Copies of this chain bind each other. A is one copy, B any other.
């Protein structure tokens, strides 16, 4: 195996369209990225049958049998501890014990993936709380990360400071943004705004030299492209993420309804359709991969449960890029530095 080969493990099950999209997305990734090798966990027979449909370099694929599946109905902590034969737990066990496996992709239960990353993989030394950081496309064609967006509902200022450090490195290493603009989610832009948590965090981040802190931001400016990373507690980050997605979805539904309301509108819609649907494309998470778990020892990418093959491909590419650019090492170094102070 080439020195530059990067091995990623893919959880073959758990999504709405698994394992079909997992397999197809993996094939896309193997055909696109020469230095990639994949281990996939899941029911061996089913996976073999699926992979048999495609043409790709089979020497870079390994299938590991794992007949169980963790569903969204399972309680995450219980499932991670008890469903030892599940595709997710098998993937985590291998990720933990095999040095040459550098990252994992799953589109299964968010709770189980997050819990598993901490219980099975563990934190980078010095990281108090790993954080979940999904990204959203902005209206000017850039991306913005939201860290944390659900892994930690109760946070201290030091947690938020670490989210800023880790998220900043992630945006830099995974998306090539040189000096990511980091803002603190607040109820106003003035320095004095917010609760005790926000005020203390503001001071901490402002004094952290490794973060390009641009101050407070309001949720209404999330999609303007003005910011590269939003720092927040997991509760408000989750509210922010889901209300943005929800509003966009409801509006697009309404527009679709208008465009098909009557014959006249259908004529107008026929002209505009391609461009209007381009918005859907712009907002489509399938084009952007998944959210990542920052602060654990290896790359963990969690794709949307409804992911299609392209999303799986993008998630794999994300994990590959994170490893290639040594994100976990960079986080360990930066967090280590701030611990010394």
**A residues 88-139 with Cβ under 8 Å of B?**
139
Nearest-CB distance from A146 to chain B (Å)? 11
Partner of A271, one of B150, B243, B265: B265
CB <8 Å contact, B218 and A242: yes
Nearest-CB distance from A221 to chain B (Å)? 6
CB <8 Å contact, A261 and B275: yes
Nearest-CB distance from A243 to chain B (Å)? 4
A341 at the interface (CB under 8 A from B): no
CB <8 Å contact, A271 and B278: no
Partner of A265, one of B198, B223, B253, B275: B275
A279 at the interface (CB under 8 A from B): yes
A78 at the interface (CB under 8 A from B): no
Across the interface, which residues of B come within 8 angstroms of A154, CB to CB? 195-196
A194 at the interface (CB under 8 A from B): yes
A185 at the interface (CB under 8 A from B): yes
A33 at the interface (CB under 8 A from B): no
Partner of A255, one of B187, B246, B269, B276: B276
Across the interface, which residues of B come within 8 angstroms of A255, CB to CB? 255, 276, 279
A325 at the interface (CB under 8 A from B): no
A297 at the interface (CB under 8 A from B): no
22 A–B pairs (Cβ distance < 8 Å), ordered by A? A153-B195, A187-B234, A187-B239, A218-B246, A219-B238, A220-B243, A220-B245, A220-B249, A223-B247, A223-B250, A235-B236, A239-B239, A244-B246, A247-B248, A248-B251, A251-B252, A254-B279, A255-B255, A259-B272, A268-B269, A268-B271, A272-B272
Contacts from A to B (Cβ < 8 Å): 139, 150, 153-154, 185, 187, 194-196, 198, 218-224, 234-236, 238-240, 242-255, 258-259, 261, 264-265, 267-272, 275-276, 278-279, 282
If the complex has contacts A220-B242, A240-B239, A267-B271, are A276 and B247 also in contact, measured as CB distance less than 8 A? no
Across the interface, which residues of B come within 8 angstroms of A267, CB to CB? 271
CB <8 Å contact, A251 and B234: no
CB <8 Å contact, A279 and B250: no
CB <8 Å contact, A153 and B249: no
CB <8 Å contact, A279 and B258: yes
Q: In the complex, what distance in Å separates the CA atom of A236 from the CA atom of B232? A: 11
CB <8 Å contact, B258 and A278: yes
Write the chain B residue with the least CB distance to A276.
B258
Across the interface, which residues of B come within 8 angstroms of A245, CB to CB? 220
Partner of A153, one of B185, B187, B279: B187
Q: In the complex, what distance in Å separates the CA atom of A222 from the CA atom of B250? A: 10
Q: In the complex, what distance in Å separates the CA atom of A265 from the CA atom of B276? A: 10
Across the interface, which residues of B come within 8 angstroms of A271, CB to CB? 264-265, 267-268, 271
Across the interface, which residues of B come within 8 angstroms of A254, CB to CB? 139, 279, 282
Across the interface, which residues of B come within 8 angstroms of A242, CB to CB? 218-220
CB <8 Å contact, B247 and A275: no
Q: In the complex, what distance in Å separates the CA atom of A222 from the CA atom of B234? A: 19
Across the interface, which residues of B come within 8 angstroms of A198, CB to CB? 153
